[in-house]
Structures are given as C-alpha cells and as structure tokens.
Amino acid sequence: DKITVPVEVTYPDGSKDNVDVTVTVEQPDVPAKQPDWNDDKGKPGDKVEIPNTGGPVEDGTTVETDGPGKAEIDDNGNLVVDIDKDAKPGDKVVVIVKDKDGNEIDRVTVVVEEPTPDDTGKDSDKYQPEYPDSTGKPGDKTEIPLKPGDLPEDTKCELDTSTVPAGWGVTIGENCKLIVVPGKDAKPGQTADIKVNFIYPDGSTDTATAHFVVAEAEGGKKVIREGGLAQTGSSPL
C-alpha cells in the first residue's frame, strides 16, 4: 500500500516549505511457522508416532531425549518415540527438538502408561506348543509339525536327546518341525515320547512331547496269534 505524508522542509536560509511525500508501506516479515508435535502416551516397549501439526521440518533439525526412551523424526516429519521395555508406568520421555543452530523449537512429553494384563504375561502362559501323536516305519522319515506354529519370533526349540531311543535319527526342522527316523531295528509297536524344549524371547520356557509309535515295515514279519499261539508270518503287500 502507498500513503501520502506531509513533510515540512527547512532550507539552509531558514525558510520553510510543506511538501507531500508518497511512502510505500510493506508487510513486515512473518517468521516461518515452526514444526509442532503434541504430547502423547504409550506403554513400555511401544513405538509412539506423533504427527507434525506445524510447519515443515528444516534440514539440520535434531532431537534429544530425557527419560526411558529414544526418538527420531522420520521422512514424513513424524516424531517417533521408542519407549524402553523396562520403563515404569508414570515415567516420562521428554523429547527436545532443536533447529540447526541449536535453538529449542519444541518440547514433547510422552507419558508411560500401565501395560495391559496381556502385556505382562509370560510367553509360556500365552502359547501351548504341542505335537500330534504320530507313527512311522523303521528307517522311514516322518515329519511332525508343531501345533500351533505361530510362536514368537526368535523362539528357540531344542531337542531333549535323552528321550531319543538309541539308533533313531531325530532332528528339528523349520518352524520347530520334528523329523523322526526310527532305527531299522526298531520293533513294530515300540513307542517313544520325544521331548522338545522351547525357550521364548522373554526367557520363559515350555516343553512339548511327541508320542511316536513304530509301524509295521513293508514286507516285514509280524506276529499272528491263532489259538493262543504266537506265529510269525510275512505281512501282506
């Protein structure tokens, strides 16, 4: 905008005059809108994502944290706060956001909430791994899947070798699948209760037992009882 301002001019000889001067009025510089994040809350181990409701995040912006957690600003300008798993309810993670010159532009507080009952239970209370009863012939490979197969990631499954009969081959495959090969000398009807120990990420443990029965081999001998007497004969093909 332009305005006209009357100005009194005084000359060197002391005489005076009035003149009109046109002045252009400019808008003052408006500071750039700064980024802004609201306070939030979360449970131990949570990743809390807080959207930016203010201006753009400039290059060189940094974050500092005080409390049980860490924080970063993602590519979309969200403030992402990782709360430590061992944080206690009522703890606070305070995030200080600074510009490239080290000036504080925002301070965000994330309060740690009380975890739900499901969050506090041990993995061994949440999962019940088991193997179905199985059967297989001497020398043949039988694969026994774990039920259910959705155990937590990084769960370890270890074979209790003391429960494996001598001469048998037993290994653990993908997703804790049990692979059983009865010894060639195993007798039909022989049983084995093979145990597998599970170690969950939280340190709790479980044990599942696979009950296995040796079946009659093809072309092998089987016991036939007639008139109370035991006889041997070839199994029918």
Residues of the chain with pLDDT under 70: 28-31, 117-120, 149, 218-237
Q: What is the DSSP letter of 147?
A: B
Residue ending a domain, choose from 92, 117, 142: 117
Q: Classify 69 as helix, strand or coil.
A: strand
| pLDDT recorded at residue 117 | 63
> pLDDT digits over 4-36, tens only?
888 888 888 888 888 888 888 777 666 678 999
User: What is the pLDDT, as a whole number, of residue 219?
Assistant: 57
- 58, 47, 88, 156 alpha-carbon torsion, rounded to 10°: -140
Q: Which residues pair with 63 in a beta bridge?
A: 97
Say whether both 149 and 194 belong to one domain.
yes
Do 49 and 130 reside in the same domain of the chain? no
Domain that holds residue 157: 123-214
Judge whether 145 lies within some domain: yes
Give domain status of residue 175, yes or no.
yes
Domain boundary among 63, 86, 117: 117
pLDDT score at 230: 30
pLDDT at 221: 47
Residues 76, 95: one domain? Answer: yes
Within this chain, do residues 131 and 207 fall inside the same structural domain, yes or no?
yes
Residues 200, 149 share a domain: yes
- Asked, for residue 18, whether it belongs to a domain, the answer is no
Question: Exposed/middle/buried for 36, CB within 10 Å: 0-12, 13-18, 19+?
Answer: middle
Question: Do both 77 and 150 map to the same domain?
Answer: no
Q: Residue 91 falls within a domain, yes or no?
A: yes
Q: According to the model, what pLDDT value does residue 227 have?
A: 34
Domain count, the chain: 2
Per the domain annotation, does 62 fall within a domain?
A: yes
Closest CA to 87 of 66, 67, 72, 108: 67
Q: Are residues 131 and 173 in the same domain?
A: yes
At 62, which CATH number?
Answer: 2.60.40.3440
Radius of gyration of the chain (CA): 39
Identify the pLDDT of residue 108.
Answer: 97
Same domain, 102 and 169: no
Cα atoms in the 13 Å half-sphere on the side-chain side of 201: 6
The CATH code of the domain that includes 198 is 2.60.40.10
Cα distance between residue 194 and residue 132, in whole Å: 12
Determine the Cα–Cα distance for residues 53 and 211; give it in Å rounded to an integer.
Answer: 60
Shared domain for 149 and 110, answered yes or no, is no
Q: What is the model's pLDDT at position 234?
A: 30
189 in any annotated domain: yes
Domain co-membership, 83 together with 153? no
* Closest C-alpha among 171, 167, 164 to residue 186: 167
Domain termination residue (choose one: 98, 117, 136): 117
Is 58 within a domain?
yes
Select from 51, 52, 57 the least CA-distant residue to 32: 57
| Whether 130 and 210 share a structural domain | yes
Beta strands in 173-220 (DSSP E): 178-181, 191-199, 205-214
1 contacts 23 by C-beta, under 8 angstroms = no
Q: What is the pLDDT of residue 29?
A: 65
